[in-house]
Structure 1
Amino acid sequence: MTTIYLAGDSTVSSYPDRPVQGGWGEFLHRYTAQGVSVENRAIGGRSSKTFIEEGRLDDILADIQPGDWLFTQMGHNDASTEKPERHTDPFTTYKSYLSQYIHGARAKGATPLLLTPVGRFHEKDGEYINDFPDYCAAMKELADEEEVLLVDLNTASLQFYQISGIEKTTSYFMLSTGIEDRTHFTKEGADAIARLVSLELKDLGLTIV
């Protein structure tokens, strides 16, 4: 059995006790190949920095086995300048913290994979906007430097919203429930993003999906 471990924030996290809100890590198992399981360790409000400081990466590395995978999507909370305990600088501390996920996985014989932060519902004049351009650029830079696999989930998700149209995209976000939340997904939206992730993994030629 191969296990995909997920390190991430509230957009990835599972919400088993919430009837409406979801994260894409909650649904990824629907799209994995036979013999591949998903261990979702993502949790809301964490950045690449605080996930490590709280010992959550160490917990994953204590469990991960040779042949497993570590998927890391961080950036939403790293960008929180109003919360300095979470914040990282894209091209310095963000890259430094992310490198710990990469090196930690490799040291355990597992394969690291990075995902740029999934897009928010930020639409202007019919175009969907990347709210994390520097973090995406820094992650791509690190992926090149470390020769690590990368899914550009930010670009893929924004293109997906564009194709889906404004009405359908609205239904993917908690905004559709009457609250001003353009970040978090409904169960439907989380499932759609999980499927999108699986398609991106297939495009990389991976057999885990």
Structure 2
Amino acid sequence: MNDTIKFYLASDSTVQTYQKSEAPQAGWGQFIANYLDDTIEVCNHAIGGRSTKTFISEGHLQKILDEIGEGDYLFVQMGHNDSTKIRPERYTDPYDDYKKYLKQYIEGARKNRAIPILITPVGRLHYVNGEFLRDFGDYCNAMKEVAEEESVLLIDLMKSSIDYYSSIGYKQASNLFMISINGEDCTHFTEQGANEIAKLVSIEIKNLQIGVSKLVK
């Protein structure tokens, strides 16, 4: 096992690394390294529009499994695109194939002696009657079921992100999203937003109280 620990990120557009030309849109995977010790290398494989199913069918998971090794970590945040019924190529049933696909990530990581960690979908700017709503409820619940069934660590980013938005209020929270730039996008983050979510994820890693937690700044 190398001295460097690698954090592999398998996810969607809320996590992916964007080109400078796409700024200020950003994903939290671009910023997470700022909150980690230099001995951790972040390998961000997140790619927009992917669900648990298409990330596998297009070969993105296999690319990770070809590299990941003993003592590395595979963080899986999926659910946004799994819920898109109008895109059948992406869609998964939360309590059926979504769970089955998640287990493929877990099995793949463990075969390589890596540690899988599941992350519930990050909250969107969904504000109704004075409160922020938690979307993707069935997917969050199904992921928690998988974590329990497979004895996998889980970060409830839906809860922590919605709690954070609630603590700062709608006006400030809206600055975290691209709606503050283009007037319509309540899903994707600005650089400020992506950085704040990365900070939340780092706090959650520390709160897991596992070996790597001490490497969070």
Q: What TM-score, normalized by structure 2, do the two folds share?
A: 0.95
1:153 to 150, 157, 160: 157
Q: Does 1:27 align with 2:34?
A: no
Aligned sequence identity (%): 52
Q: Does 1:89 align with 2:100?
A: no
Query: Aligned AA for 1:183?
Result: T
2:177 to 162, 166, 173: 173
Q: Deviations over 1:175-199 (max 9, x none)?
A: 0013311000000000000000001
Q: Hey, what does 1:110 align to over in structure 2?
A: 114
Distance (whole Å) between structure 2 residues aligned to residue 208 and residue 5 of structure 1: 16
Aligned residues: 209
**Equivalent runs, 1:124-203 vs 2, <5 Å:** 124-203=128-207
SS at the partner of 2:206? Answer: helix
Query: Aligned AA for 2:87?
Result: K
Q: Hey, what does 1:120 align to over in structure 2?
A: 124
Distance (whole Å) between structure 1 residues aligned to residue 148 and residue 41 of structure 2: 28
- The runs of 4+ residues in structure 1 deviating greater than 4 Å are none
Structure 2 unpaired stretches of 5+: none
Distance (whole Å) between structure 1 residues aligned to residue 99 and residue 42 of structure 2: 25
SS at the partner of 1:165? Answer: helix
Query: Aligned AA for 1:207?
Result: K
Q: Hey, what does 1:78 align to over in structure 2?
A: 82
Task: Supply the RMSD in Å over aligned alpha carbons.
Answer: 0.8
Q: What TM-score, normalized by structure 1, do the two folds share?
A: 0.98
Decide which moves more: 12-21 or 103-112. Answer: 12-21
Query: Aligned AA for 1:53?
Result: S
Q: Hey, what does 1:10 align to over in structure 2?
A: 13
- The CA deviation at 1:137 is 0.2
Q: Hey, what does 1:51 align to over in structure 2?
A: 55
Distance (whole Å) between structure 2 residues aligned to residue 44 and residue 94 of structure 1: 18
Structure 1 unpaired stretches of 5+: none
Query: Aligned AA for 2:41?
Result: S
